[in-house]
Amino acid sequence: MSSLTVRPVSGRRDLKRFVKTPFSIHRDHPQWVPPLILDRMKFLNRSKNPYFDHAEVELFIAEREGEPVGRISAQIDARWDEYRGGNDGQFGFFETVDDPEVANALLDAGCEWLASRGREKVYGPMDFTTNDELGIMIEGFENRPVILEPWHPPYYQRLVEGAGFGKAMDLLMWHLKMGKLMEGLKFHPAIHEAAQKSLDENDITIRSMKKSDMANEVARFHEVYNEAWGDNWGFVPITDEEVEFHAATLRMVIDEDWAMIAETGDGEVVGAALTLPDINQVLAKMNGRVLPFGWLKFLRGKRDIDVVRILALGVKKKWQHTGVAAALYVRHMETTDPDGVMTGEAGWILETNESMNRALEGMGGKVTKKFRIYEKQL
C-alpha cells in the first residue's frame, strides 16, 4: 500500500481540500448530505468565525498518492478552560476512509498537537464546540441527517474506539410525529395541564420571533440560551459575536412560525425555542454548490420541506418546572400545518437529561439516532 501522509492545512487551497474531503469519502453513502462548500469555508475562515477569537486551532489532512483520505481538527478553547475547568483539548471535523492506519494517524496527529501544548485530556468530535455539530453516530445509520447534524457510517465507531477513545457522553435524537401523522396521537394529559396552567397563572405569552426585529430577537434568545443550558455537561456560553455569526448564516433558513419566545405580560423573556426547517432535504440535491443552479434548487425545494429540527428549547432557571417548557412543546404541535405531513427531530438531548427525555417520551417521541462524544487521556 502506498505511503500515508498527514499534514497541517496551509492556505485557502488547502482549506478547500479539507472541506471537500468528505465528498469523496461519502460519495457511495446515500444517507450523507453534502454541506454547502461556501458555508463551510466561511465557518473555517479564521478572520470571519469569532470562535477563533478565543481558540487555537490546527487542521490536518491525510493523503495517499496526493488524494485526501481523511481529515481532523485539533483545538484549544480558552472559554472551555474558563467555564469547564481542567486542561482539556478537543478534536473535530473527523472524517476517514475505513482504514485503521488513516484513523490512527489522524487521531495521533491531533492528540500530539494538543499534548505538545500541555493539554492532558481530549474530547470529541466537536466542530468546534457543543453548540456546533458534534459526536460520532453510533445508532440510526439508515436515517438521513437533519439540519446541523452529521452522519457517519458504522465503521467510524469501530475506528475511534480502536484508537483507544472511550465514551464521555451519548446524545439522543428524538423523532416526533406531527401534522397528519399526529392524528389520533394524544400528549400525556399532564403536559397540556401544565402548559395551560403556566400560561394562565403567570401571564405568559408565546409568540413567534419577528424577522423585522431579528437583531433584538437574537439577543433575547441568547439571554435564555446561556442561562438555560449553563449546567449541561460540556456547555460553554456562546458569545454575542458567535450568536450574530450563526444568526447571519441561518437567516435564510429561519421560519418565524418556528422560532418562539415565551415572555411575561411586562415583557420579561422567560423561555425560547429555535426550530429549523430541515434544509438537508434540499441540500441533498445540490452537491455542496450554489452555482450555477444551486440557489434555484434551494428556493424551489424550500416549499417542499416537511421535516423540522427542534434545535434548542429552554427556560430560564427561575421559570423552570413551571410548565413553560410544556407550553413550548404544545405550541410546536399547534404550529404544524394541519394539511401537511411533518415530522420533527429534537436534539441533541444528553442521555443524562432525565426530565427532557421523559417529556419527549410523553409526547410520543422515539429515539431514532444516537451520537457519542469520546474522551482520552493524553
Q: pLDDT tens digit string along 230-248?
A: 888 999 999 999 988 988 8
CATH numeric code, 4-169: 3.40.630.30
Q: Looking at 11-25, 76-90, 287-301, which range is the least confident one?
A: 287-301
Q: How many other CB atoms are found less than 10 A from the CB of residue 171?
A: 22
**Which of 281, 342, 270 minimizes the C-alpha distance to 313?**
270
Across the range 119-145, mean pLDDT stands at 96
In this prediction, residue 181 carries a pLDDT of 45
**Which residue is listed with cell 465507531?**
157
pLDDT at 326 over 50: yes
pLDDT at 23 over 70: yes
Q: Please return the burial class of 101, using the count of CB atoms within 10 Å of its CB with bins 0-12, 13-18 and 19+.
A: middle
pLDDT tens for each residue of 246-263: 888 887 788 888 889 999
pLDDT at 166 over 80: yes
User: In 3-state terms, what secondary structure has residue 363?
Assistant: coil
pLDDT at 180 over 80: no
Counted residue by residue, the chain has a size of: 378
User: In 3-state terms, what secondary structure has residue 291?
Assistant: coil
Check residues 266 and 181 and name the one with the higher pLDDT. Answer: 266
- Going by the DSSP 8-state scheme, the letter that residue 46 receives in this structure is T
pLDDT at 297 over 70: no
Beta bridge partners of 75: 57, 90
Give the CATH H-level superfamily of domain 175-370.
Gcn5-related N-acetyltransferase (GNAT) (3.40.630.30)
pLDDT tens for each residue of 24-38: 999 999 999 999 999
pLDDT tens for each residue of 58-93: 999 999 999 999 999 999 999 999 999 889 999 999
| CA–CA separation, 328 and 333 (whole Å) | 9
In this prediction, residue 302 carries a pLDDT of 62
- Shared fold status for 4-169 and 175-370: yes
| CA–CA separation, 103 and 70 (whole Å) | 8
**Which of 85, 48, 89, 84 minimizes the C-alpha distance to 72?**
89
Q: Given pLDDT bands bounded at 50, 70 and 90, which one contains residue 316? A: very high
Q: Give whichever of 24-38, 93-107, 329-343 has the largest mean pLDDT.
A: 93-107
Beta bridge partners of 375: 123, 166
Q: Given pLDDT bands bounded at 50, 70 and 90, which one contains residue 117? A: very high
Provide the whole-model pTM: 0.90
In this prediction, residue 293 carries a pLDDT of 47
Q: Given pLDDT bands bounded at 50, 70 and 90, which one contains residue 366? A: very high
Spans of all domains in the chain:
4-169, 175-370
Across the range 359-371, mean pLDDT stands at 89
Across the range 124-145, mean pLDDT stands at 95
| CA–CA separation, 240 and 223 (whole Å) | 10
Q: How many other CB atoms are found less than 10 A from the CB of residue 200?
A: 10
Across the range 96-115, mean pLDDT stands at 98
Q: Given pLDDT bands bounded at 50, 70 and 90, which one contains residue 336? A: confident
pLDDT at 185 over 60: no
